[in-house]
Structure 1
Amino acid sequence: MEKTDDQNCQDRHEEDNPKSSPFDFVIKQFQGKKCAPEKKKEQPSAIKEFFKGFDFGKSEGKDRREIEETEISNDGADDQSERQDPSVEDGLSHLTSEAKSPSGEQKFNQFMEKLGKKPSSKNLDLNNCALSAADITELASLLPFLPELEELSLSWNGCVGGTLKALTVHLHHVSLLKVLRLNNCRLTAEDVISLGEAFEIVSQLEELDLSWNSNIGGKLSLLTKKLQEGCKLKCLKMTDCNLTAKDGESLAELLNVIPNLEVLDISINKNIGCSMKVIAQDLKNVPGLKELNLHMCGLKQDSFQGLDTALQHLVELRKLDISCNREIGGGFKASTAHLASLKNLEVLDLHQCCVTEEDMTVLSEAALHLPELEILNLSWNKCVGGNLKLLLGALKLATEIQVLRLSSCNLVAEDLALLTSLRQDGHLARLQKLDLSYNNNISDEGWAVFCQGLGAFKELSELDVSLSPSSCRDCRPWFGELLAALTQLPALAELAMQRWALSESQRKQMEGFNQDNKRNIRFDC
């Protein structure tokens, strides 16, 4: 049979392309369909016209075509990925891994959530969080993500001791740090050295609190010798650090390079009193000092007199606490002139200083020149009792006084009468807190007179008339006067009258007064 012209043409094409694959044939068929001339449209029959408005099979066919096209597209993508360069594939895998890893902010948030704390980029408070050494290391790794950090507190975490270097080597990431608190962290000598080295990095530091770290004692020079002149430190606290006389000398040297110091607290360091003369000589280098706390520092008369000389340079001083230094009693005579120069003094704490009657007289010359005094604490000085009149002039001029503490002062009825008369004459108008506790020698008549005039203390919010723990007395002789006065004291929120015996009816009256007036009256006898 002879071949048609089309068949001959096909044979010649196959001879010219002997290696053509079936896939090429499919493509040609597809191209042929695309290029084929359009068939003449048939005229629709009457039946077709009837069903023209219905979509039977159209949606299904469309979905089927979309699925086929998607499969073809996916097949092409798979083929393309198989032919990709392995290095590109590794790069994509690396980018995917990075995208899945948490950011620095996320890591920090997770760390804080683990400790039950709310995250803050400026104030990191981790007090008493039972931190472990691993936590300190993890925290150190997070510092690069906290460039705005200003306050860091790790106090009351014993495991910080011995691990501080892991943290301090990263402090350059937080150059804005202003406050560092490390109370009761069991710091070691190595930690003190690390802190000293850190001072060269955190040049903006303004507050450093190392209180309750007993191992600092004898090693303060490891810290102070690293501080450079012009240091911006404003607040230094080292309460109960077992500081020695040698540490006192190091502290004195430190005062030469921290001219901006405003708060110095070295309380409860009984051995540092021996070097107080040396410290006092350099206090003139911090003329802007506003708070000086020397509670229980082992001060004696001579060291206290050396401190008095320094007071003339501390004209900005607002608070002076020299309490619980029993051996300075009788040494106020040489201190009157300079104590009186503290025109801005607001808080004077002399409790448990074994003040003598002569000291009381001296203090009354000095206190006349303290117009800004707001808090005066003379508690546990037995010689105050019967001698409160020596402070009469000072109490008249102390128009700003808000807190007066006279606990365990051996007060007598005359002293209470003096207080009430002062108020009735228009003095002590701003008094808010009055502590008369542990004064067992006051007679019933004395308490009665006091309660009769108590209503004049309109600003009073706290009053303590409790007896000492070994006592218990009947308050019936003056209970009526007290109850009447309470109705005249709108600001009174707390009244302590422990160890005063109350009858059942008196107890119910007090409980009712508590409930009706939202007061807190404490009694236990």
Structure 2
Amino acid sequence: MDTENQRGRDGSQKRSPLDMIMNQLRRKTSFTERKKPSVGRFFRPSENNEKNNVSIPETKETEISEGKNSTQPETESGGVDPEICSVVGWGRVKQFVQKLGKTPDSESLNLSHCDLTATDLLELGTLLPFLAQLEVVDVSWNDLLGGSLQALTVHLQHVGRLKTLKLSGCRLTAEDLGALGEALDTVPLLEILDLSWNSGAGGGNLHCLTSHFGSAGALRELHVVDCQLSEADAMSVGEALPLVPCLEVLDLSSNPLVVRGRENVLSALGYTPHLRSLRLRMCGLDRASLAILGEQLQLLPALEHLDLSCNKESGGGFSAVVMSLSFLTHLRSLDMHSCCLTEENVLELAQVIPCLGDLTDLDLSSNKRVGGVLQTLLPGLPLSKMKRLHLSDCGLSHEAYHALATSMKSFTQLESLSLSWNKSVGTNLRWLLEPLQAGCKLQELGLCSCDLTTEDMLHLESACKRGAMSRLRLLDLSCNGGVGDGGWVSLFGEAGGLKELRELDVSLRPSTSLSASPWMPALLEALHQLPSLCHLALKRWALTPGEREKLQRTASKRNVGLEWDELAAPGIR
């Protein structure tokens, strides 16, 4: 998520005059002419390989590749053979896609991060007539496409079965949005539209698209994340919602909407009764807008996912929203991290939680006042259904922590638990881990900056030994400088109990530096017992040149990415 947000922020920056001139030159050059063979490493080949040659006779394709049909094939009567033409067209599609390091798929075209130019887009448009079965098009993160989207949209009439169109991070302009809007009636089955991280979609330009939403009646998902939406854009969204009554997912995250705009959007939510996912992360919601949202939530009985995180402007004014949650009996995911929740908000949440019997995902992280009253909330949670519980930086009191530890035996489906930056965990980790037995489904465990001790590591070692950590994929033990050398040695000694571990972080705080020499042999041995490990963070640990060489060599053989600092062990120059 952070990586994607960073890309979005980068894509939203204004270009310098030199950058604009260079981009204009590059836009006129196709991918092939610029010859960048390394592009393929950024892509994930299509998984539908079996569909790649649908309706493409092998013999005819071979003939074409051998140059036996250099012109349009004709039938005996002199007409053009449509079947042969189709084969020729598919050959062009394969050539175009393969030069970008991708595997052709007649139903899904993923060309994200391909550094496509306007010339490439023009060629792609001419290939659409040969992709009548196409359902997914993704050309995201090609920032040279801005201003040239019409070269593609004028050909969308040939892919009437299109259901998904992703255009994130393409520097779209008002002209692009207008061209897309005019083409909406040619793709009547379009269900998913993603315009995220296009600053040009904001600034009052969004209406160029939304004014055509009368032709997008099948639209089910609309993603407009971090598009710098203005008040006029938000008003356009509010006016468009009644035109897409089938909408199931609306994501307006990272758009700090101004008062009139966000109130207009929130007031129109009642026109989307089938909404299943509503994401308003970092939208600048205040008390007034939260009151409107509380009223509208009562009209969204199908809602399953609600993200209101990072709305600190509310000043704890979530009472109206919290009390309306009782109407969302199908709610599965609730994210309210970094919302300045008050103790009163948590007590109110405790009253409605029993109504949320389908809840599996709860994130209350970075709300300092949650930790003092969490014990009132836990009894109402559907513990046996919970899969994700994040309580990082919540100021967990010892009473709340022990209440959580007591409940651990009931979290039979829990996959992700984060308690980072809660000092009450230190010296008390055993109470959390002892209820966990072999077969535990836990996959992610966050214990960063929890004041862990050597004794805590011994209990984590014990959990590994009895198989309770056998499914763990991510383990964050960073910023716990209080763990002695013996603690790390004991943990690495039981690496065999972490066979599915993919990411391990044992970094120290930025202001700290310690020698890793006492436990480095144990780590090197552990790497041979961690077949799934792909990332190891050791920042601020000092190593000797010999240790660094051994670790780098071992990690390279195991294909493990290392994140470390160039620090020498004490006494080494």
Fold conserved between structures, TM > 0.5? yes
User: Is the contact between residue 266 and residue 289 of structure 2 (CA under 8 Å) also seen in structure 1?
Assistant: no
User: Is the contact between residue 153 and residue 179 of structure 2 (CA under 8 Å) also seen in structure 1?
Assistant: no
From 495, 499, 514, the equivalent of 1:473 is 514
Answering whether residue 419 of structure 2 is matched by residue 378 of structure 1, we say yes
User: Is the contact between residue 382 and residue 408 of structure 1 (CA under 8 Å) also seen in structure 2?
Assistant: yes
What letter matches 1:274 in structure 2?
G
Specify every segment of 5 or more residues in structure 2 that has no aligned partner in the other structure, as ranges: 1-121, 130-144, 568-573
What letter matches 2:188 in structure 1?
P
RMSD of equivalent CA atoms: 2.6
Q: What is the match of residue 447 of structure 2?
A: 406
Q: What is the match of residue 191 of structure 2?
A: 150
Task: Using the TM superposition, give the Cα deviation of residue 430 of structure 1 relative to its aligned residue in structure 2, in angstroms.
Answer: 1.6
User: Is the contact between residue 234 and residue 263 of structure 1 (CA under 8 Å) also seen in structure 2?
Assistant: yes
User: 1:510 is paired with a residue of what secondary structure?
Assistant: helix
User: 1:429 is paired with a residue of what secondary structure?
Assistant: coil
User: Is the contact between residue 273 and residue 298 of structure 1 (CA under 8 Å) also seen in structure 2?
Assistant: yes
Task: Using the TM superposition, give the Cα deviation of residue 268 of structure 1 relative to its aligned residue in structure 2, in angstroms.
Answer: 0.5
Task: Using the TM superposition, give the Cα deviation of residue 489 of structure 1 relative to its aligned residue in structure 2, in angstroms.
Answer: 2.0
Q: What is the match of residue 440 of structure 1?
A: 481
Q: What is the match of residue 33 of structure 1?
A: none
User: 1:368 is paired with a residue of what secondary structure?
Assistant: helix
Task: Using the TM superposition, give the Cα deviation of residue 461 of structure 1 relative to its aligned residue in structure 2, in angstroms.
Answer: 2.1
Q: What is the match of residue 333 of structure 2?
A: 291
User: Is the contact between residue 435 and residue 463 of structure 1 (CA under 8 Å) also seen in structure 2?
Assistant: yes
From 438, 447, 457, the equivalent of 1:416 is 457
What letter matches 2:405 in structure 1?
S
String of CA shifts for 1:164-217, please: whole Å, max 9, x gaps. Answer: 223222111121111111112222333323222222211111111111111245
What letter matches 1:253 in structure 2?
E
From 137, 158, 162, the equivalent of 2:178 is 137
CA distance in 2, matches of 1:206, 1:388: 41
Q: What is the match of residue 425 of structure 1?
A: 466
User: Is the contact between residue 463 and residue 495 of structure 1 (CA under 8 Å) also seen in structure 2?
Assistant: yes
User: 1:268 is paired with a residue of what secondary structure?
Assistant: coil
Task: Using the TM superposition, give the Cα deviation of residue 113 of structure 1 relative to its aligned residue in structure 2, in angstroms.
Answer: 7.3
CA distance in 1, matches of 2:271, 2:208: 26
Task: Using the TM superposition, give the Cα deviation of residue 472 of structure 1 relative to its aligned residue in structure 2, in angstroms.
Answer: 1.5
String of CA shifts for 1:306-356, please: whole Å, max 9, x gaps. Answer: 1122211111112111111112221113223113x3421100001111112
From 321, 334, 342, the equivalent of 2:376 is 334
User: Is the contact between residue 389 and residue 418 of structure 1 (CA under 8 Å) also seen in structure 2?
Assistant: yes
String of CA shifts for 1:98-123, please: whole Å, max 9, x gaps. Answer: xxxx9xx8799995475899977322
Specify every segment of 5 or more residues in structure 1 that has no aligned partner in the other structure, as ranges: 1-101
What letter matches 1:442 in structure 2?
V
CA distance in 2, matches of 1:423, 1:283: 39
With over 3 angstroms needed to count, the CA separation of the structure-2 counterparts of 1:172 and 1:118, relative to structure 1, is closer
Of 485-494 and 504-513, deviating more is 485-494
Answering whether residue 564 of structure 2 is matched by residue 523 of structure 1, we say yes
User: 2:362 is paired with a residue of what secondary structure?
Assistant: strand
CA distance in 1, matches of 2:317, 2:176: 39
String of CA shifts for 1:139-182, please: whole Å, max 9, x gaps. Answer: 22222222221111222222222122232221111211111111
With over 3 angstroms needed to count, the CA separation of the structure-2 counterparts of 1:349 and 1:416, relative to structure 1, is same
CA distance in 1, matches of 2:154, 2:269: 33
User: 2:197 is paired with a residue of what secondary structure?
Assistant: coil
What letter matches 2:245 in structure 1?
S
**How many pairs does the alignment contain?**
421
Answering whether residue 239 of structure 2 is matched by residue 206 of structure 1, we say no
User: 1:521 is paired with a residue of what secondary structure?
Assistant: strand
What letter matches 1:249 in structure 2?
A
With over 3 angstroms needed to count, the CA separation of the structure-2 counterparts of 1:401 and 1:431, relative to structure 1, is same
From 257, 265, 283, the equivalent of 1:215 is 257
Q: What is the match of residue 402 of structure 2?
A: 361
State TM-score, norm by structure 1.
0.75
With over 3 angstroms needed to count, the CA separation of the structure-2 counterparts of 1:118 and 1:239, relative to structure 1, is farther
User: Is the contact between residue 370 and residue 398 of structure 1 (CA under 8 Å) also seen in structure 2?
Assistant: no
CA distance in 2, matches of 1:227, 1:491: 44
What letter matches 1:423 in structure 2?
C
1:38-77 equivalent positions in 2, closer than 5 A: none
User: Is the contact between residue 317 and residue 342 of structure 1 (CA under 8 Å) also seen in structure 2?
Assistant: no
Task: Using the TM superposition, give the Cα deviation of residue 125 of structure 1 relative to its aligned residue in structure 2, in angstroms.
Answer: 1.5
CA distance in 1, matches of 2:268, 2:558: 58
What letter matches 1:351 in structure 2?
S
CA distance in 2, matches of 1:413, 1:122: 54
String of CA shifts for 1:283-327, please: whole Å, max 9, x gaps. Answer: 111111111110101111111111122211111112111111112
CA distance in 2, matches of 1:117, 1:237: 32
User: 2:165 is paired with a residue of what secondary structure?
Assistant: strand
Larger Rg over CA atoms: 1
From 333, 340, 345, the equivalent of 1:303 is 345
What letter matches 2:244 in structure 1?
V
CA distance in 2, matches of 1:234, 1:464: 35
What letter matches 2:331 in structure 1?
L
Q: Percent identity?
A: 35
Answering whether residue 552 of structure 2 is matched by residue 500 of structure 1, we say no
Task: Using the TM superposition, give the Cα deviation of residue 456 of structure 1 relative to its aligned residue in structure 2, in angstroms.
Answer: 2.7
String of CA shifts for 1:346-389, please: whole Å, max 9, x gaps. Answer: 00001111112121111123333221101000011122111112
User: 1:376 is paired with a residue of what secondary structure?
Assistant: strand
User: Is the contact between residue 149 and residue 176 of structure 2 (CA under 8 Å) also seen in structure 1?
Assistant: no
User: Is the contact between residue 187 and residue 216 of structure 1 (CA under 8 Å) also seen in structure 2?
Assistant: no
User: 1:451 is paired with a residue of what secondary structure?
Assistant: helix
Q: What is the match of residue 160 of structure 1?
A: 201
Answering whether residue 225 of structure 2 is matched by residue 183 of structure 1, we say yes
User: Is the contact between residue 224 and residue 251 of structure 1 (CA under 8 Å) also seen in structure 2?
Assistant: yes
CA distance in 1, matches of 2:185, 2:468: 58
User: Is the contact between residue 276 and residue 306 of structure 1 (CA under 8 Å) also seen in structure 2?
Assistant: no
With over 3 angstroms needed to count, the CA separation of the structure-2 counterparts of 1:455 and 1:296, relative to structure 1, is same
Answering whether residue 494 of structure 2 is matched by residue 453 of structure 1, we say yes
Q: What is the match of residue 264 of structure 1?
A: 306
User: Is the contact between residue 137 and residue 166 of structure 1 (CA under 8 Å) also seen in structure 2?
Assistant: yes
Q: What is the match of residue 553 of structure 2?
A: 512
What letter matches 2:343 in structure 1?
Q
CA distance in 1, matches of 2:438, 2:302: 32
User: Is the contact between residue 172 and residue 201 of structure 1 (CA under 8 Å) also seen in structure 2?
Assistant: yes
What letter matches 1:390 in structure 2?
W
CA distance in 2, matches of 1:217, 1:413: 52
CA distance in 1, matches of 2:533, 2:256: 41
Q: What is the match of residue 232 of structure 1?
A: 274
Deviation beyond 6 Å, 4+ runs, structure 1: 105-110, 115-120
CA distance in 1, matches of 2:187, 2:550: 58
User: 1:508 is paired with a residue of what secondary structure?
Assistant: helix
String of CA shifts for 1:389-411, please: whole Å, max 9, x gaps. Answer: 22134434881111111011110
What letter matches 2:296 in structure 1?
L
Answering whether residue 303 of structure 2 is matched by residue 251 of structure 1, we say no
From 256, 281, 284, the equivalent of 1:242 is 284
CA distance in 2, matches of 1:433, 1:344: 21
CA distance in 1, matches of 2:294, 2:199: 29
User: Is the contact between residue 223 and residue 252 of structure 2 (CA under 8 Å) also seen in structure 1?
Assistant: yes
User: Is the contact between residue 242 and residue 272 of structure 2 (CA under 8 Å) also seen in structure 1?
Assistant: no
Task: Using the TM superposition, give the Cα deviation of residue 474 of structure 1 relative to its aligned residue in structure 2, in angstroms.
Answer: 0.9
Q: What is the match of residue 59 of structure 2?
A: none
With over 3 angstroms needed to count, the CA separation of the structure-2 counterparts of 1:250 and 1:352, relative to structure 1, is same
With over 3 angstroms needed to count, the CA separation of the structure-2 counterparts of 1:196 and 1:522, relative to structure 1, is closer
What letter matches 1:458 in structure 2?
K
